[in-house]
Amino acid sequence: MKAVLINGSPRRKNWNTVTLLEEAEKGLKELGFETEIINLYAQLYRGCISCFLCKKKKNIDKHICLYKDDLTPILEKSMAADVIIVGSPVYFGEPTGETRAYLERLFFPVTSYMVDENGNRISILNKTKPTAMIYTMNAPENIAGQINYPILLGNSVSAFEMLFGCSEVLYAYDTYQFTDYAQYEANMFDPDHKIEMRDKQFPIDCKKAYELDKRLGQMALANQ
Ligand SMILES: Cc1cc2nc3c(=O)[nH]c(=O)nc-3n(C[C@H](O)[C@H](O)[C@H](O)COP(=O)(O)O)c2cc1C
């Protein structure tokens, strides 16, 4: 059994998103999964270019984006995996650009434009694949709720749910952003509060990431 964990943060070591993915990876490894953390920002690629090759009748069963660039092997690994976990910081209320581009190209080839005789959308994939989004953000939980983050960020979770049959989400709020807040022009943040969140809340979020992935791994094993 295989799991891919996609890091949609440009920061590849020690920072929030990748740390949560590493915790998630532990849960999957304990269940015997072969795992890989893939750093999107190490690759050069673009989002969906609307070529519609994946929608051609001759290609519809391929389930993969046919435009070739650095993302191609990552998309292949994602589709071959039994579990997909995508972690992203929130940038301007959305996943990062690279995460978004990855999701467009993962989702579109398995998005059906076909309906049955009752007008219901026909699924392209007939096997459930457990998936999850892990989001990290500056916003505290109450502010994130007020500015509609659960709806904005929930779009990709809903797409995963619709296309792959199963999705969960974990939000890590009020994350620690700079190594030393004193060096930055950023007085809207209270550094002591951020340190407290880093030292008390973030370990709880790490535990949630571990538990989330253990749960998804168990689902994937049960689906076998
Ligand atoms: C370009 C940019 C835009 C950001 N926009 C938001 C935002 O809209 N809302 C928010 O809560 N945090 C925002 N942040 C903060 C990051 O989401 C947060 O620090 C995140 O935990 C960083 O993840 P990382 O440590 O894995 O890189 C932004 C950060 C950057 C660099």
pLDDT tens-digit readout, 184-210 = 999 999 999 999 999 999 999 999 999
Residue 28 above 90 pLDDT?
yes
Q: Which residue's alpha carbon is at the smallest distance from atom 6 of ligand 1?
A: 91
Atom 14 in ligand 1: residue holding the nearest Cα = 91
**Average pLDDT score over the chain:** 97
**DSSP character at residue 168:** E
Q: Calculate the dihedral angle through the C-alpha atoms of 139, 100, 224, 109, rounding to the nearest 10 degrees.
A: 150
Q: Whose CA is nearest to atom 1 of ligand 1?
A: 91
Mean of the pLDDT values across residues 97-108?
A: 98
- The CA radius of gyration of the chain, in Å to the nearest whole number, is 18
Residue 98: pLDDT band (50, 70, 90) is very high
Average pLDDT over residues 117-135: 94
Q: Is residue 224's pLDDT more than 90? A: no
Residue 41 per-residue DSSP state: G
Which pLDDT band holds residue 95 (cuts at 50, 70, 90)?
Answer: very high
- Ligand 1 centroid–CA 89 distance in Å is 5
Residues 128 and 15: beta-carbon distance below 8 Å: no
Averaged pLDDT for residues 134-147: 98
The interaxial angle of helices 202-223 and 16-30, nearest 10 deg, is 40
The more confidently predicted of residues 63 and 223 is 63
CATH number of 2-223: 3.40.50.360
The pLDDT, as a whole number, for residue 40 is: 98
Amino acid present at 107: F
Q: How far apart are CA 199 and CA 182, in angstroms?
A: 18
Whether residue 172 is predicted with pLDDT greater than 90 in this model: the reply is yes
Q: Which two tokens stand for residue 131?
A: 């998936």
Of 21, 9, 12, 16, residue with least CA distance to 174? 16
Cα–Cα distance for residue pair 85/196, rounded to 1 Å:
27
Q: Sorting pLDDT into bands at 50, 70 and 90, what band is 174?
A: very high
Ligand 1 atom at minimal distance to the Cα of residue 144:
11
